[in-house]
Each structure stands twice: as structure tokens, then as C-alpha cells.
Amino acid sequence: MASNGIRDRVAIVGMGCTSFGERWDKGVNDLLIDASKDALASAGVELKDIDAFWLGTLFSGQSGLTLSRPLKIDYKPVSRLENYCATGSEAFRNACYAIASGAYDVAMAIGVEKLKDSGFSGLPSTRSVGDGTSAGLTAPAMFSLLAPAYAKKYGVEESVLKDAMTRIAWKNHKNGALNPRAQFRKEVSKDTIACSPLVAGPLGIFDCSGVSDGSAAAIIVRAEEAHRYTDKPLYVKALSFVAGPAAGPIDPDYDYTTFQEVVASAADAYAQAGIKDPRQELAMAEVHDCFTPTELVLMEDLGFAARGTGWKEVLAGTFDLDGELAVNPDGGLKSFGHPIGASGLRMLFECWLQLRGEAGQRQIASVARGRTLALTHNLGGAPGECVSFVSVVGSERS
């Protein structure tokens, strides 16, 4: 299989991101306009300068009209895409390829989701009922299947695993407390997290990401033109997206302690970017911490920790803001919130701030020491049946 990548051929030259949360004050149109305005201003361009648009949203609209109507876009290509919770990343990936191909000069990738207006707890269902034979688990329940399987496979006591899960939530809340755009901007004690009401399996409410509204956007140009827009562009080093055969729920060989799709997309992305040791080479990673066991397993799937040791590394603080490799410095899905279509672009927004040295109180020290690469990881689906996206961006063009 060829996956040639487009390393250093396109660059991000502007980004915008709204505050995430229960945005009772803003509709989908408002969120799209706010994120677009920020991104355009950040790149120093106007709407008329954008040649083509890619809009990601899962539930909050269909067709390019969802974006062209509020922004009054005059007869330009607007694609609307969806790829479960990796929707925002998919919008970004397609925009990058359009620029790399030379078809357009300036593209916008934008993601949006308005989840709170439904009045439901958690996410609405995406599946049709069909013959009525699928178990219909909620999202936290699907991801909670990881916990007992991981504990059993690696002989980790359930209480120790719960401690590791709690520490992930605690860390992401601590990071989010430093982020003015985050849904939850305060630290939460480990006791409060560990004793929160159970939602599914061992997962309490604090093990779940925030259901929220929000939007984020990026302006993309060819790498050689990036400096016309900004002194500090981010170069796209790798883009990998895979859909698995959804074998986990029907194949007894799957053991619910890994996302094979993540392993595949990470290997592809590292090859594209020329990364050998991600833990040593990356300045930071934004990963898909939809639920705390997900982040734990991702540490192993992304090659940040050896198999069966992720829980120890979590407890040792390896992935703290001041740890060896900062993971989710912006608070992650857990504390920044998870407006589905926007999340992939929100992850890139944190890379944009950190690698440019603009992250304020939560600025990662290793950037100043010369680390120039950041990773985003975004997945959609459930253990054993998901789509996975990994990108690597960097502040230097090699």
C-alpha cells in the first residue's frame, strides 16, 4: 500500500477557535461565523480570499449550505464531511490535499457541532435501528469495555486502574483550568473524580469528556507561500486516516486493550513524518481522550508507552504538562469539551498555539528547548470498530 504523504507541502497560516461549552447564547451559524472570523483575522485574509471550504459536522447540518448560508459565500466549493468523532480532522485532511494538488491556493477547514440544544445526556444516536438486533450501547459504555479487559490482560488491580483513569481526568482538568476557551476551567480533586456517580462500568461522570458546542477553523496554503501570511506557519508533516474492518465485535482474536486502527494510522503518520521515537521527538500530543480508558490505551497505541505499562506512566506523571511528553495540554476532550465536528481542528489549534509559543500559562517548556513537532490524534467509533486519524505538524520546514 502506498501512503506517500504530503510532508511539508502545505502549511497552516491561520486558526480560530471559539470557546467550547454549553453555548446557550450561540447557534450553529454564530459558532461558524465566530470561528471563521478568528481564523481569517489570524491569517490576515478576507472571506473572498478563500478559494474552497471543507466543513466537518456530524449532527449539526448537512451539505455545504450549512456554511455558505451563514457566511454568504459567493458561489464557491463548500464540501460537508462526516467521519464520526474524527470529522474535524477529516475536513482538515481533505483541505490539505486540495491545496497540495494545486487545485486551489487558499482553503478553509472548519468544524462545528451544536450538541447541547438536543436536551439529551451524552450524544444522540447515529445509527438507524434496522432489524433491531444491535446492542445500542451508549458511548461511555462502549469505551468502558476497555477497562476490565485491560485490567485482566495486564494483571492490574481494578482499583489501580481506576487510579490511573482518575489521574488522566485530574491532569486534563488541571490543564483545562489554564485554558480560557475550555468548557471546564477548574481543577477537580482526585477524590471528587474517583467518587463521581457511575455512568458505565467503572467510568464515573468525570471519566467522560464534556458534551459541548463549539467551532474551530484553519486556513491552509501551499508551504512555499506560507510566509506571505505569517512568520510562524505550521507545516503539515503527516496526515493518516484509516477505517478498520470493524472486526472487534465479531472476532474473538480482538482483546479490547488496543485500537488497531490507531496503531495503523500512527505507523503511517510516523513514516510520513520521518519520526522514529515519538516520545523523544514530539513536543506534545493532543489525543482523543473521549473517556479516560481511551487516553490510557492510546498512550500505548501511539507508541508513547510500552504495552501494558501505560497505566504506570500515567501514574508517574509522564504525560503531565511538565512531564516528559505533554498530552492534552489544552485539557483535551475531557475538559476543553467535545463538539464533535470541531474537535479535530481544536487539537490542531493547541499545536498552533504551543509550537508558536503562544500558549500562555500552559506553554510547554520543551518547545523552547527545541522540540518543533506536535501530534494530533482523533478517533470515531468504538473499541474494535473505529476510524482513526493521526497528524503531525511542525514549526520548521525540513
- Residue numbers at the binding site for another protein (CB under 8 A): 119-122, 124-125, 128-133, 135-138, 140-142, 144-146, 148-149, 152, 198-201, 245, 247, 249-252, 254-256
| Shortest spacing between CB 187 and another protein, in angstroms | 26
Alpha carbons 319 and 138: distance in angstroms, whole number: 28
| Shortest spacing between CB 205 and another protein, in angstroms | 10
Identify which of 19, 31, 90, 102 has the alpha carbon closest to the alpha carbon of residue 60.
31
- Would you say 72 or 127 has its CB closer to another protein? 127
| Shortest spacing between CB 347 and another protein, in angstroms | 25
Beta strands in the chain (DSSP E): 10-17, 52-56, 78-81, 106-113, 198-200, 203-204, 214-222, 234-243, 282-286, 326-327, 373-382, 385-394
- Would you say 39 or 139 has its CB closer to another protein? 139
286 contacts: CB under 8 Å, gap ≥ 6: 327, 328, 329, 330, 332, 347, 348, 350, 351, 374, 375, 376, 377
C-alpha cell, 321: 504538562
- Would you say 208 or 347 has its CB closer to another protein? 208
Alpha carbons 231 and 234: distance in angstroms, whole number: 10
Judge contact between 339 and 28, C-beta under 8 A: no
| Shortest spacing between CB 324 and another protein, in angstroms | 31
Alpha carbons 333 and 287: distance in angstroms, whole number: 8
- Strand, coil or helix: 226: helix
Catalytic residues: 85, 338
| Shortest spacing between CB 85 and another protein, in angstroms | 17
- Would you say 153 or 227 has its CB closer to another protein? 153
- Would you say 61 or 293 has its CB closer to another protein? 293
Sign of CA dihedral 313, 315, 287, 328: negative
Which residue shows C-alpha cell 469528556?
209
C-alpha cell, 335: 475538559
